[in-house]
Structure 1
Amino acid sequence: MPGLATIETSFVGSSPRIAVESVGKGELVVFMHGIGGNRRNWRDNLPVFGEHFRAVAWDARGYGDSDDYEAALRFRDFADDLARVLDHFGEERAHIIGLSMGGRIAMDFAHSYPHRLSTITLCATNTGFSRFTPEARAEFIRSRKEPLMSGKEPADIAEPVARSLMGPKASEAALAQLVDSMSRLHKHSYIKSIEALVNLDTHAGLDHITVPVHVMCGADDPLTPLSMSKEIAQLIAHATLTVVPDAGHLLNIENPVEFNNAALNFLLRHKQT
């Protein structure tokens, strides 16, 4: 039965320390959460992948049990932290799975560390906020940043933001999981992430990615709809596109069985050993 293996928690480096959970042995697979998440978002997925790989989920800097940090965030900092995670596990290369902001980090990592990739799985992500209308960008920032700047805490905005991301068939358990993760956000680090993410554009250069790429999206994703995933798949040679039914933006939480089957089958096809 999947899930019996022990999930181990460790910390990578310092300044800031990066908290990771890992399970299994073999080729390294690293899971990266979205802007409102943490490593807990992958707990329905990690043990399944750990049956075949060494599956690792991180808390990005300023999230979960990872450290906060001084000064503004350069989005490239996330890619540098990911390289530290690979070093921590003694691996030159890894399969990278990123959801939403995690997908943007994966694309940036492909530019900065192309030699350290085995495959990339891009889930519910986009090629940059330049692809959103000005109204959509403004609403994204307003709904997340402005209430916090006005004195509210992450727990105060967690439920309405979570509901705006879920598909119509999402279970109450899935909603509760997302509300919990957003309630755990580090307020000031989250604001830094919003600013860095909206100002980043990863559209240019995706056609230079040469490792196998799997693009995944929820059929009912209200934030990054199928059209955005199709655009990514068209920009990367030989990319595979999978649409997960009965899922919104958090496809791995809303429909973990379908997500696990599709994502794991892709990795197994490209396993090196």
Structure 2
Amino acid sequence: MSITTIDSQLIHYEVLGRGQPLIFIHGWVGSWRYWWPSMQALSAHYRTFAFDLWGFGDSSKVTDAYKLEAYVEMVDQFIDKLGVARPVILVGHGLGAVVALSYTAKRPDNVAKVATISLPVAGEFLTNKLQGADTGSMISRVLGRSESFSELDSEIRKVDPMAVSKSIEEINDLNFVSDITALERPLLMVYGRQDSLVLPPNGEYSYLQQSINDRFYVELDLCHHFPMLQEKAKFNRLLLDFIIASADLTELTIKEYWTRRIR
């Protein structure tokens, strides 16, 4: 376990691999740990980082910091504190997707590419499943009682429910469509079609499902809220294809199998 401090508060993080920096940011349910399979898969090509946001995992529980502005600043502080080379690649999920998008919109020169998974493009696309949930019920509310992942089960007890409820309450009143359409960096948007927590963009925002102008949209038909765990090989191949894609890429498609090469 690695720890750094910012203003006397602890940030727990893990790092693996060498190469261009790639930072994973987790969402409302769990911690850095559910990124571990993706870190292992991409560490042959990139120096992968994952850290716990305030209120999650082994980072400090700082009630005043359970807001989007503080989380965006946390990314900047993390990069500065560890001396991470810029530009970085950001990969965020749920709450982490909002943080990654917001950081890229605010500091585009610091980011090469950004991938969002289960990004609520506006407050109405985030359901109320986690509002008022305790750590014992979070996973079942998102995945149902028939599915579970060890990467979540081992970390859920560390989540401060206040960090979940406060951040959701704030995001419920926000809209990120302008950040998406005006983004100055390549963007990959991934959704699980069976996700019951974050709904894919539809209705008046259905045009966001078009892959256009360095923005790529992919839905995984059978996935719920955690495609990086439910379809590890497909997800990791998709992410790698996006990151290494040439400038003339026009679309991304799911590939059935991908395994890490061992030299």
Query: Residue 158 in 1 paired to residue 138 in 2?
Result: yes
How far apart in 2 are the matches of 1:105 and 1:59?
13
User: Structure 2 vs 1, CA of residues 224 and 14 (structure 1 numbering), >3 Å: closer, same or farther?
Assistant: same
Q: Which amino acid aligns with 1:154?
A: T
Q: Which residue among 237, 241, 247 is the counterpart of 1:265?
A: 241
User: Structure 2 vs 1, CA of residues 235 and 76 (structure 1 numbering), >3 Å: closer, same or farther?
Assistant: farther
Query: Residue 128 in 1 paired to residue 122 in 2?
Result: yes
How far apart in 2 are the matches of 1:236 and 1:180?
39
Matched ranges for 1:16-27 at <5 A: 16-27=9-20
Report how far residue 234 of structure 1 moved.
4.5
Q: Which residue among 177, 182, 185 is the counterpart of 1:203?
A: 177
Partners of 1:62 and 1:68 within 8 A in 2: yes
How far apart in 2 are the matches of 1:197 and 1:15?
27
1:247 match:
223
Partners of 1:41 and 1:181 within 8 A in 2: no
Alpha-carbon deviations, 1:30-63, whole Å to 9, x = none? 1111112210111111111111000111101111
How far apart in 2 are the matches of 1:146 and 1:225?
19
Q: SS of the residue aligned with 2:217?
A: strand
Q: Which residue among 90, 94, 98 is the counterpart of 2:84?
A: 90
1:3 match:
none
Q: SS of the residue aligned with 2:50?
A: strand
Partners of 1:162 and 1:178 within 8 A in 2: no
Alpha-carbon deviations, 1:52-103, whole Å to 9, x = none? 0001111011111111114363311111111112221332221000111111
Partners of 2:33 and 2:152 within 8 A in 1: no
Gaps of 5+ in 2: 248-263
2:71 match:
78
2:160 match:
186
How far apart in 1 are the matches of 2:140 and 2:86?
41
How far apart in 1 are the matches of 2:222 and 2:2?
32
Q: Which amino acid aligns with 2:179?
A: G
Q: Which amino acid aligns with 2:243?
A: L
Report how far residue 106 of structure 1 moved.
1.3
Partners of 1:214 and 1:241 within 8 A in 2: yes
User: Structure 2 vs 1, CA of residues 101 and 70 (structure 1 numbering), >3 Å: closer, same or farther?
Assistant: closer
Give the number of aligned pairs: 244
Q: Which residue among 9, 15, 28 is the counterpart of 2:21?
A: 28
Q: What is the TM-score of this pair, normalised by structure 1?
A: 0.78
How far apart in 1 are the matches of 2:9 and 2:180?
29
Q: SS of the residue aligned with 1:192?
A: helix
Report how far residue 109 of structure 1 moved.
0.7
Q: Which residue among 22, 25, 40 is the counterpart of 2:33?
A: 40
Report how far residue 159 of structure 1 moved.
4.2
Matched ranges for 1:6-21 at <5 A: 9-21=2-14
1:150 match:
none
Q: SS of the residue aligned with 1:204?
A: helix
Q: Which amino acid aligns with 2:140?
A: P
Structure 1 stretch displaced more, 43-52 or 191-200: 191-200
Report how far residue 223 of structure 1 moved.
3.1
Q: SS of the residue aligned with 1:241?
A: strand
Structure 1 stretch displaced more, 46-55 or 8-17: 8-17
Identify the structure with the greater helix proportion. 1
Matched ranges for 1:46-85 at <5 A: 46-71=39-64, 73-85=66-78
User: Structure 2 vs 1, CA of residues 15 and 234 (structure 1 numbering), >3 Å: closer, same or farther?
Assistant: farther
Alpha-carbon deviations, 1:163-191, whole Å to 9, x = none? 24x9xxxx8453x5434443321233333
Identical aligned residues as a percent: 18
1:216 match:
190
Partners of 1:12 and 1:85 within 8 A in 2: no
How far apart in 1 are the matches of 2:142 and 2:86?
36
Report how far residue 256 of structure 1 moved.
0.7
How far apart in 2 are the matches of 1:231 and 1:65?
39
